[in-house]
Amino acid sequence: YEVMKGSTTDKTTLREFLDGIEKQDGKAQRPGDIVKSSSLSSDELEDVRAQLVDAVADIRGWGRRILRGRPDFFRGDAWQVLLSDPSRALRVALYFRSRLISIGLADTRLSIGLGRVDYLSRSRVSLSTGEAFTLSGRGLDRMSSVAGLAITCPQSAGPVAAWLALTGQLCDSLVSGWTRRQAAVVAFSLHPRDPRQDEIATLLKPPVSRQAVTKTLESANWEAIKAAIRVFEETSWDAV
């Protein structure tokens, strides 16, 4: 299972835990919270939530069994969503953040927790319990006020635990510096289909040149992020 919380918290489970969990429901969870939500009006907070709901719909279009259900919002600025595929955790987390940054209203902190799920509520993800949820919550609690992405897994995972944590920190350092335009271009680039830059140029509003997309991706350090996503998705979770 993968757990990701909003306030930008994201939680994931390793394949060894997923094998047992999938016998129950085959889902993964992702929680987070919205940054500086207290400065948003009620209408603006609803716009941010709507962006997250739209992002979930987009991610469903990436392929079957990546996400299930709707985001679960609670405590005003906290949110969770259920994932089925832990290998997509980093890509999905970055997509949520890029979507929010691109609209200029808010960002979200994400804490990815990898671990066992003891109980999965079919009605509300936030009512579920287990190691994945605990690690996700701890990861969010330990994040500094300027951090936006944490990845935590059991220490029994060995070197992978440190590698995952470092991956989250490095990606966060790049994402946190994105402009709205950089976030918008990266959001399109995050599609697993790997769209061409000339295609992305026509999808932007207003449309721009391919050269402009290339320049924007370079300034957003897209190649470094893309490499991190590739390694994350090619990781043998069975071996962890």
Return the percentage of the chain with pLDDT > 90, whole number. Answer: 48
Q: Residue 68's pLDDT is what? A: 65
- Cβ-Cβ contacts under 8 Å for 108 (sequence gap 6 or more): 6, 7, 8, 32, 33, 34, 35, 52, 79, 96, 97, 100, 148
- Whether the pLDDT of residue 25 is over 80: the answer is no
Higher per-residue confidence, 33 vs 188: 188
pLDDT interval class at 238 (50, 70, 90): low
Q: Out of 57-66, 131-140, 203-212, 217-226, pick the least confident.
A: 131-140
- Whether the pLDDT of residue 175 is over 60: the answer is yes
- Tokens for 173? 């350092």
The count of other CB atoms within 10 Å of the CB of residue 176 is 14
Q: Out of 24-28, 139-143, 208-212, 227-231, pick the least confident.
A: 24-28
Q: Residue 120's pLDDT is what? A: 76
- Cβ-Cβ contacts under 8 Å for 112 (sequence gap 6 or more): 2, 3, 4, 10, 11, 12, 30, 89, 90, 93, 136, 139, 149, 150, 151, 152, 164, 168
pLDDT digits (tens, 9 = 90+) for 72-114: 898 778 898 777 777 898 999 999 999 999 999 999 999 888 7
Closest by CA position to 174, among listed 217, 236, 119, 123: 217
The mean pLDDT of the chain is 83
Q: Residue 10's pLDDT is what? A: 37
Task: Mark residue 143 as left, alpha or beta (left: phi above 0; alpha: psi -120 to 50; beta: remaining).
Answer: beta
Q: Out of 121-130, 135-144, 179-188, pick the least confident.
A: 121-130
Rg over CA atoms, the chain: 17
DSSP output for 50-85: HHHHHHHHHHHTT-TTSEEEEEEEETTTEEEEEES-
Q: What's the distance, CA 200 to chain centroid? A: 21
- Mean pLDDT within 209-234: 97
Longest dimension (CA), the chain: 50
- Cα 57 to Cα 67: distance, rounded to the nearest angstrom: 9
Q: Out of 106-110, 126-130, 162-166, 227-231, pick the least confident.
A: 126-130
pTM beyond 0.95, yes or no: no
Contact of 68 with 27, CB cutoff 8 Å: yes
- Cα 13 to Cα 132: distance, rounded to the nearest angstrom: 6
Q: Out of 12-16, 71-75, 234-238, pick the least confident.
A: 12-16
Angle between helix 159-175 and 89-103 (nearest 10): 20
Higher per-residue confidence, 41 vs 131: 41
- Burial (0-12, 13-18, 19+ Cβ within 10 Å), 123: exposed
pLDDT digits (tens, 9 = 90+) for 121-138: 878 887 888 887 788 888
Q: Residue 45's pLDDT is what? A: 92
- Cα 72 to Cα 213: distance, rounded to the nearest angstrom: 34
pLDDT interval class at 29 (50, 70, 90): very low
